[in-house]
Structure 1
Amino acid sequence: MPLLNINIKERMEHYQVTGLSVSVIRNHEISFVENYGLREADTLKKVNNDSIFSACSISKFVTAMLVMKLVQQGSLDLDEDVNVKLKSWKVPDNHFTVKRCVTLRNLLGHQSGITDPEKSFMELNSDGRYPTMVELLTGKTPYCDVPIEVKYEPETDFQYSDAGFCIIQLIIEDVLGKSFVEVIDELIFHPLKMTNSTYTLNLPEKFYEDFTSGHNNSGCLAENNYPIYPYPAASGLWTTSKDLSQLVLELMNALKNKSKLGISVEQANEMIQARGCKGWNGLGVFLEGSGIEIELSSLGWGEGFQSMLVAFPLKGDGIVIMTNTDLGVHQMKGIIGEIYQSFN
């Protein structure tokens, strides 16, 4: 069941996209998955349903779903001062935190007062050493070389922040006493049968055959074939378009009180309600429209990869588009945007 009004193969040639996977949700179920091109340029490795892409910042949507699960089971509280549960590091108090504290809610909505230092949060460098979240947050790594602190009063501005999701990851690890990777495997990937998804920093051998290599907008291999971001909750997800669709379906099902993860209708609704000082961001997602037409989206963009997830959760429709090419332009200005328009 191909998408209408677009010749994807022709548009891939036009934009020099090496590989692409599209998963479409209609009426609360996966309608079809289509795959095009190659996992790696100048090889015979074709993209298929099991092909794994770097999802980059779509990781934040998955992390938000994990937070909702942990809030539901009573391990976390969306509106509590994060310092109550943080053990291995604390958000430094300053004059910006006098009236409002940093909470999971404003961290998930990028309105916590936390900002990313300039030229921070890049892919793993050549020394191959994975920093801890405490090292990142205290400014002791090349990925973030200044300590993280609150830079404006929470909930008075929007500043997109990877550092904020590092704090979320640290809370989860401090509270549960396990690594973020273990927790998300146990509570999200395993129960939803997302068998081709991983946040691990060491790419597992069982996935080697399915991983796609990153490419630039000339069709050449990226400098790092498989870019690793050593702050998983913010950008570390490797997955397939079909697996991501399973998670979108879980949110849709939770809104109908049919969650496989035990997420309540109330918690699911929290994610798609605009909060704080902006009307276009929920918890871990961006929003547009209202009522039955509410649309949520999450974008991923990093070295060699671009992707987009869009869903109309109350209508039961959605689309996940993943490429192993960095087009160098916003998703809506390239092939991803053209596919989205065809779907919409």
Structure 2
Amino acid sequence: MFAALNVKERMEHYKIAGLSLALIQDGKINGTEQYGLKEADTEDRVNENTSFHSCSISKFMTAILVLKLVEQGYLDLDEEINAKLTSWKLKASEQIKGKTVTLRDLLSHQSGIIDPEGSFSEWKENDEVPTILDILKGSTTYCRGPIKVECEPKSEFHYSDAGFCIIQQLIEDTLKKSFKEVIKESLFQPLQMNKSFIDITGLENISSGHNKNGELISRKYPFYPYPAACGIWTTPSDLAILVLELMNALEGTSQLGISIKNAKELVSPQGNVNWTGLGVFLDSFDKDVEISSLGWGIGFQCMLVAYPSLKKGAVIMTNTDLGVHQMKGLIGEIYSSFFGN
């Protein structure tokens, strides 16, 4: 599939334990490939159904979920979020009181929220698992201060896990169900994303995380208690299904009932930033728009890239954190080999 790239040799070079990928061409999954081990120093090989930690690619899944809930009338991209938040309200600093924050602002990281430094780490095994309300109130070490609007909404870009925690709480307050239930019922089940999970307890076909030296991390399966932001486990094939759903929605054939209008919102520049859409990042090559979502956490790195107008895309997931940006490692080499960029 990559004539100019010896993936196995490059995995050895970068000390990557395991890798899984899915490629999209002509509007369909054109192939999947798996390499290496689910866990170093075992004989347990990665297969197509092995779930990896998606890290912040969870935000792309959350964005698609939001669009479906917008179509169903539960949410509105441009309504003030406090209108439907019942268990907690977003407050603003004194100097910007009166400014409203919308779902569109949160999805595009332009809400004026600045995540407290050192927040949103992986869960530590002996700690009590914090709730999203605990996180938003700033009452735990996982978010070192109450979440509030620090600068004028739509004025600046600040990448924010807190913003997606608010989206999660908004969904739970509005539908009176857990985020885990909603995303399973509204996204995973309708699209038959059968290898996508928030709770991996008892599951066997799960990849362990590794550090840049290819060594198993201390907690093999890192847990982040903010699934809408960075806590979903999945496979490249399942993510490819979601990419195809977006491509189909842009042509009016969405399985989830997402309209062309709202699908275009996701892949269009938002606010004052031309390189962020709703839950994805944007780049342009000639007339083609590239959307991307990157996942990077303890023990894992992954990348989702698609050109909706070309019906082409790739999802690449590894169970090793190289300590460098995806494009400076094997993921970047696979990207260049497939897309020719």
Shorter-chain TM-score range: over 0.9
State the match for 1:169 in structure 2: 168
User: Is 1:283 matched with 2:282?
Assistant: no
1:24 alignment partner AA: L
What's the CA shift for 1:223?
Answer: 1.8
Residue pairs, 1:14-29, within 5 angstroms:
14-29=13-28
Q: CA deviation at 1:141?
A: 1.1
**C-alpha displacement of 1:98:** 4.0
Distance 1:292-1:254 versus aligned 2 partners, 3 A rule: farther
Does the CA-based 8 Å contact 2:198-2:232 persist in structure 1? Answer: yes
- In 2, Cα distance between the equivalents of 1:322 and 1:96? 43
What displacement does 1:142 show?
1.4
Alignment of 1:66-215 (within 5 A): 66-95=65-94, 97-98=96-97, 100-200=99-199, 203-205=200-202, 207-208=203-204, 210-215=205-210
**Letter aligned with residue 218 of structure 1:** N
Residue 334 in structure 1 maps to residue 326 in structure 2? no
Q: CA deviation at 1:290?
A: 6.4
How many percent identity over aligned positions? Answer: 55
Report the CA distance shift for 1:320/1:85 in structure 2 as closer, same or farther (over 3 A).
same
- The structure-2 alpha-carbon separation of the partners of 1:272 and 1:291, relative to structure 1 and needing over 3 Å to count, comes to farther
Structure 1 position 100, deviation (Å): 3.3
Give the Cα–Cα distance (whole angstroms) in 1 for the partners of residues 145 and 248 of structure 2: 42
TM-score, normalised via structure 1 length:
0.96
Higher mean C-alpha deviation, range 56-65 or range 141-150: 141-150
| Structure 2 unaligned residues grouped into runs of 5+ | none
Instruction: Give the match for residue 252 of structure 2.
Output: 257
CA gap 1:96/1:336 in 2 versus in 1, 3 angstroms: farther
TM-score, length-scaled by structure 2: 0.97
Q: How many residue pairs align between the two structures? A: 339
The answer to whether the 8 Å contact 1:96/1:150 transfers is no
**What value does the CA root-mean-square deviation take over the aligned residues?**
1.1
Partner-residue secondary structure (3-state), 1:112: coil
8 A contact 1:69–1:261 mirrored in 2: yes
* TM-fit CA distance, 1:246: 0.4
Deviation track 1:255-313 (CA, whole Å, cap 9, x = no partner) reads 01110101011110000000111110000000001685100000000000000000001
The one-letter code of the counterpart of 1:52 is S
Report the 3-state secondary structure (helix = DSSP H, G, I; strand = E; otherwise coil) of the residue aligned with 2:59. Answer: helix
Q: Which moved more, 1:216-225 or 1:179-188?
A: 216-225
Q: Is the 8 A contact 1:292 1:314 kept in 2?
A: no
Q: Does 1:321 align with 2:313?
A: no
- Asked if structure 2 preserves the Cα contact closer than 8 Å seen for 1:41 and 1:219, the reply is yes
Structure 1 partner of 2:306:
311
